[in-house]
Amino acid sequence: MSIIRRIEAFELKLRLREPFRIAMGVSEYSHNIVVRIVDKEGNVGWGEGSPSLRVNRETVESNLSAIESVAPKLLGVDVFGIERVREILSRVEGNPSTKTAVETAVFDLIGKNTGRPVFKLLGGYRDYVITDITLGIKSPEDMARDAVRAVKRGFRILKVKLGTSPDEDIERVRLIREAVGDDIIIRVDANQGWKFDDAIRVLNKIADYNVELCEQPLPAGELEALAELRRLSPIPIMVDESVHGMLEALKVIEREAADYINIKLMKTGGIIEAMHLAYLAESVGIKCMIGCMGESLLGITMGVHFAQALKNIEFVDLDADLLLAESLVEKGGASIEKGGIRRAPSMPGLGIEALAENKLRLRLRKE
């Protein structure tokens, strides 16, 4: 038993190394929530949520009110009754990041109470994963320079943000491939930025530069167009913004609108939903990526545990913490090694050992 005795929620704002631009906008900070759950024995579980207004229609403030509404119902619940936790969280409307933050803290507690790392609890399939590193949108020349820098830092997979103008996007991929050579994997993400005809043109052109996959070429809701594009595209199509959880995945599967699905723990509204999404995709032969929003190393560590746990996670894009200028986690958390290798700690729970608690602003406490 591990009975929830106290729930706290914090606001966290961390500076990025440099402004990060994608087709849908620019950000300078990661503005997140952190949840701490303490059980009756004094064990502590941590979780993080990184709300996205554009993708999930949620904010730090809406996340905090969501926690406020469920915290009283979670007090006194045994975290081993994960289905009970899920039932309580399911009453929250929207705010998937809140649900994931709470479920993360719950799995951290289950791990600590059973002496097992979270990835062993969830499936324990592999011992490490290889992440890509994301290149935000800049001029083609500057992105080629960033690409070389990333390769020098040891990364072997580049995720190239596209989706401004078709000609510039083609130029971006061309210059990056020229700059990094043939041994580096390039995947691209248009973040809904293209129209159908542009997408066809860009995909046919950049196929010459050996692109592994293209994420979300068209607006999220355009599943028929995505299906048509997928039939014509020389490059496999991955959906991200089109799929939050299983309901949307079913629609994508029905229309054969994608080759791959990008699962993000901040979209699914919980770890369990994310697992089921991965299994659903596996059942129809769709391989998945695990992606991220603006999580710090705390949330990213949950992502690495998830990616190590499940067989159907073929692609890993867990790099948001590497784009930050400051760190919440002071000791522990997922490692980052040469080659983009990430490993979840083998200690019980998430493996977060020390946090810079002065960076956390307490917004809610219920006990």
166: three-class secondary structure by DSSP: helix
55 versus 92: smaller Cβ distance to Mg ion: 55
86 versus 230: smaller Cβ distance to Mg ion: 230
Stretch that binds Mg ion, among 25-33, 138-146, 161-169, 215-223 (CB under 5 A): 215-223
Q: Kindly report the backbone phi and psi dihedral angles of residue 147, in degrees, each rounded to the nearest multiple of 5, phi listed first.
A: -65, -45
| Beta-carbon contacts of residue 103 (< 8 Å; ≥ 6 apart) | 47, 82, 85, 86, 89, 270, 271, 272
79 versus 237: smaller Cβ distance to Mg ion: 237
Q: Which residue is nearest to Mg ion (CB)?
A: 240
Q: Which amino acid is at 183?
A: D
Stretch that binds Mg ion, among 51-59, 78-86, 225-233, 240-248 (CB under 5 A): 240-248
Q: Quick check: is 189 catalytic?
A: yes
Least distance CB 160 / Mg ion (angstroms): 11
Compute the distance between CA of residue 101 and CA of residue 271 in angstroms, rounded to an integer.
Answer: 9
146 versus 240: smaller Cβ distance to Mg ion: 240
Least distance CB 190 / Mg ion (angstroms): 9
Q: Quick check: is 195 catalytic?
A: no
Least distance CB 356 / Mg ion (angstroms): 29
39 versus 241: smaller Cβ distance to Mg ion: 241
Least distance CB 233 / Mg ion (angstroms): 17
Contact 158, 130 (CB under 8 A): no
From residue 245, alpha-carbon distances to 5, 62, 106, 199, 339 in Å are 30, 20, 20, 25, 31
Strand partners, 315: 289
From residue 142, alpha-carbon distances to 147, 168, 268, 360 in Å are 9, 12, 34, 35
From the candidates 39, 132, 198, 240, which is the catalytic residue?
Answer: 240
26 versus 362: smaller Cβ distance to Mg ion: 26
Residue 172, both tokens: 């971006």
Q: Does 215 bind Mg ion (CB under 5 A)?
A: yes
Least distance CB 193 / Mg ion (angstroms): 11
Least distance CB 219 / Mg ion (angstroms): 13
Q: Does 240 bind Mg ion (CB under 5 A)?
A: yes
Compute the distance between CA of residue 161 and CA of residue 97 in angstroms, rounded to an integer.
Answer: 23
DSSP annotation string for 88-139: HHTTS-S-HHHHHHHHHHHHHHHHHHHT-BHHHHHT---S-EEB-EEE----
Q: Does 132 bind Mg ion (CB under 5 A)?
A: no
From the candidates 99, 120, 264, 287, which is the catalytic residue?
Answer: 264
User: From residue 165 to residue 204, what is the string marking binding to Mg ion with x (rule CB under 5 A)?
Assistant: ------------------------x---------------
Q: Quick check: is 215 catalytic?
A: yes
8 versus 240: smaller Cβ distance to Mg ion: 240
From the candidates 103, 108, 146, 189, which is the catalytic residue?
Answer: 189
Compute the distance between CA of residue 132 and CA of residue 150 in angstroms, rounded to an integer.
Answer: 10
CA dihedral 36, 39, 40, 42 (to 10 degrees): -60
Query: What does DSSP assign to residue 321?
Result: G
Least distance CB 306 / Mg ion (angstroms): 17
The CB-side HSE value for 264 (13 A sphere, CA atoms) comes to 26
User: From residue 264 to residue 303, what is the string marking binding to Mg ion with x (rule CB under 5 A)?
Assistant: ----------------------------------------
- End-to-end CA distance of the chain: give it in Å, rounded: 18
Residues that bind Mg ion (CB under 5 A): 189, 215, 240
Which active-site residues does the annotation give?
A: 161, 189, 215, 240, 264
